[in-house]
Amino acid sequence: MADFLGMMKQAAQLQSKVQELQAELENVHVDGAAGGGLVTVTLNAKGDMKAIKVDPSLMKPEEAEILEDLIVTAHADARRKAEAEMQERMKALTGGLPLPPGLKLF
């Protein structure tokens, strides 16, 4: 029984740390770029888009499709970086403890 209570205490501590990490991830920003930096997308580490920058040279009606593709590509690049950042921070939080596949703490 003492082991069970110890596990419950550890679970509560982990939950508290996860909540702190979630708040911290709101303030961690990553940039994704496409087209050699012509389009830049900024996300927080939770994957929420915070900013987008487009080089003025792409602001032509005939360039609209290229611009759309570059935005999607820059967003995907930033999303990969945000996920990697979140994974690194989770690894640090759990001490490298492997969590079961599919277990979502966020």
Computed over every residue of the chain, the mean pLDDT equals 83
Q: How high is the pLDDT of residue 89?
A: 82
Domain ranges of the chain: 27-90
Mean pLDDT for 63-73 is 91
Is CATH 3.30.450.20 the right assignment for the domain spanning 27-90? no
On whether the pTM is more than 0.75, the answer is no
List residues bridging with 33 in a β-sheet: 40
The tokens for 100 are 């079961």
| pLDDT tens column, 23-47 | 888 888 999 999 999 999 999 888 8
What is the predicted pLDDT for the residue at 94?
Answer: 73
